[in-house]
Amino acid sequence: MALLTFHGATRQVTGSCYLLEANGEKVLLECGMNQGFRDDEESNRKPFPFDPASLNAVVISHAHLDHSGLLPRLVAAGYSGPIYLTPDSADLLGLMLRDAAGLQERDAEWENRWRSRAGKAQVSPLYTMKDTEAALELCQPLDYQQPTMVARGIEVTFHDAGHILGSAIVELVIHEEHNLTRRLVFSGDLGNPCTPLMRNPATLEQADLVLMESTYGDRDHRGLEATIDELREVLQQAFKDGGNVLIPSFAVGRTQELLYFLGKLYQEGSLRQQAVFLDSPMAIAATRIYDRYHHRFDADDRELIESNGKGKLSSWLPILKCTATPDESMAINRIKSGAIIIAGSGMCTGGRIVHHFKHNLWREECHVIFPGFQAKGTLGRRLVDGARNVRVIHQSLVVKAQLHTLGGLSAHAGQGQLIDWLSHFKKCPEIYLVHGELEKSQILAEAIHERLGWPASIPEKGEQIAF
């Protein structure tokens, strides 16, 4: 018998964390950070609901922080065993965790300055760069389709999830006495088959227990061709208006998709802008990692990029200019028209995009394209919701730019795609819906029952099941 405890991403999207106990061993599946509201972020500081030193192994589906972001804290709390993930995820994880640690340390430093002046107690960062390097030392990359014993009687196999580079569906086979086996399949974040560059998610046929994400369990996504058409129209109108185009974008995944789309428009001759600036050191580094693993790309997309860009995204778009240094970034602000500027942060909560807002947001000829979800409370959400005045870098700006929300770009499977992936299992497994807001999980559970006739449960945080 095996036990599974749901410690995170239950009835919410972030903080994935599940503890598997079998054969006297403990394997942690995911160690994600809670992100979003302040209460969620404060929960990252709470003690782990298990002893990190008692774990035999940790398995990570992909590098996004809501699945991996507390690994340095886990190590600081006593974990010293292996961390299993794919090789590409390991490279991206190093990039993302070091960036997160640097941000934690800088935020704590700024906080402590005013605390010192106010006579208040000092605060510590959630984790440090030292903690991060210690966690990265524990990473043991496993390629797809490489079954590996990660603990006594517990075997892990990674399958391509098609979400971001290196993302995996995790298959855990528990070998018990008398040749009995139990099979747990965790979807991780399942990719949208329409997402460029990534292969379609692998399908599996056998499972006793399935944990499936439900981020977009309540709807299907808009068609990709319509999204590309919309992007083309916005860029052409921006060129006619004589302004720049600002695109706040997430550094890993979304930025690389945008570079692919812009490259396609350039190759077909419909991209009239003079330059595309990738103004994010993290996105530049992530794109290099994507280039290094271009053999992972979808076959058709890879062939297209190889024929026109030597197999690399950075060559696929000849007018791309990567501006890594602050001086290069500031020089962009001298350009008043004809530029496309991709910069972080994706929700406009900081980063270089806010500096470009300062120079462009008040211009009627400027266009801003939001290619991703904007959470409540962020500057991006206020702009999407129609704010006509916003405060940016201690200045009040009137919003005269033309704003566009680009629908259809999602690296997550929609409802129909999730159910289609589930339908490949030959027999009905126990199904638990995770990584989704409660209402969306409930809608997905109803849709699964209607289409497949299978029941699906929605666990609560701390719930434990035997299988």
Same domain flag for 286 and 233: yes
Strands of 264-394, DSSP E:
275-278, 320-322, 339-343, 367-370, 389-392
Burial class (CB in 10 A: 0-12, 13-18, 19+), 308: middle
Same domain flag for 131 and 271: no
Element (H, E) at 183: strand 181-186
Residue 189 Cα distances to 91, 115, 231, 419, angstroms: 18, 40, 26, 14
Q: Which domain holds residue 313?
A: 224-405
**pLDDT of res. 177:** 81
Q: How many CA atoms lie within 13 A of 325 on its CB side?
A: 3
Task: State the CATH number of the domain containing residue 289.
Answer: 3.40.50.10890
**pLDDT of res. 340:** 97
Q: SS3 of 297, please?
A: coil
**pLDDT of res. 141:** 98
**pLDDT of res. 292:** 95
384's torsion region: left (phi>0), alpha (psi -120 to 50) or beta?
alpha
User: Residues 121-160: pLDDT tens digits?
Assistant: 999 999 999 999 999 999 999 999 999 999 999 999 999 9
Decide which of 110 and 93 is more confident.
Answer: 93
**pLDDT of res. 376:** 72
State mean pLDDT over 337-361: 93
Query: Which residues lie below 8 Å from residue 255, measured CB to CB, with a gap of 6+?
Result: 249, 278, 280, 283, 286, 287, 342
Predicted confidence (pLDDT) at residue 309 exceeds the cutoff of 80: no
State mean pLDDT over 213-227: 91
Same domain flag for 123 and 234: no
Same domain flag for 248 and 212: no
Same domain flag for 208 and 116: yes
Quote the number of domains for the chain: 2
Does residue 213 contact residue 30 with C-beta atoms inside 8 Å? no
User: Residues 415-430: pLDDT tens digits?
Assistant: 999 999 999 999 999 9
Same domain flag for 315 and 428: no
Same domain flag for 242 and 201: no
Predicted confidence (pLDDT) at residue 316 exceeds the cutoff of 70: yes
Same domain flag for 228 and 215: no
**pLDDT of res. 36:** 67
Same domain flag for 103 and 156: yes
Q: SS3 of 216, please?
A: strand
Single pTM value for the model = 0.93
Same domain flag for 26 and 141: yes
The candidate with the shortest Cα–Cα distance to 211, out of 443, 6, 431, 52, is 431
Predicted confidence (pLDDT) at residue 310 exceeds the cutoff of 80: no
**pLDDT of res. 461:** 96
Rounded CA separation 301/298 (Å): 5
- Please state whether the peptide bond connecting residue 345 to the residue before it is cis, i.e. omega within 30 degrees of 0: yes
**pLDDT of res. 37:** 59
**pLDDT of res. 39:** 62
Query: Which residues lie below 8 Å from residue 289, measured CB to CB, with a gap of 6+?
Result: 88, 91, 92, 95, 165
Rounded CA separation 187/214 (Å): 10
Burial 334-369 (b: 16+ CB within 10 A, else e): eeebebbbbbbbbbbbebbbbbbbebbbbbebbbbb
**pLDDT of res. 40:** 64
Same domain flag for 395 and 260: yes
Domain boundary among 382, 405, 428: 405
Task: State the CATH number of the domain containing residue 98.
Answer: 3.60.15.10
Rounded CA separation 322/320 (Å): 7
Give residue 20's Cα distance to chain centre: 24
Rounded CA separation 240/395 (Å): 29
State both tokens at 206.
């056998």
Residue type, 412: H
Beta bridge partners of 369: 404
Same domain flag for 176 and 254: no
Query: Which residues lie below 8 Å from residue 3, measured CB to CB, with a gap of 6+?
Result: 20, 21, 22, 464, 465, 466
Predicted confidence (pLDDT) at residue 407 exceeds the cutoff of 80: no
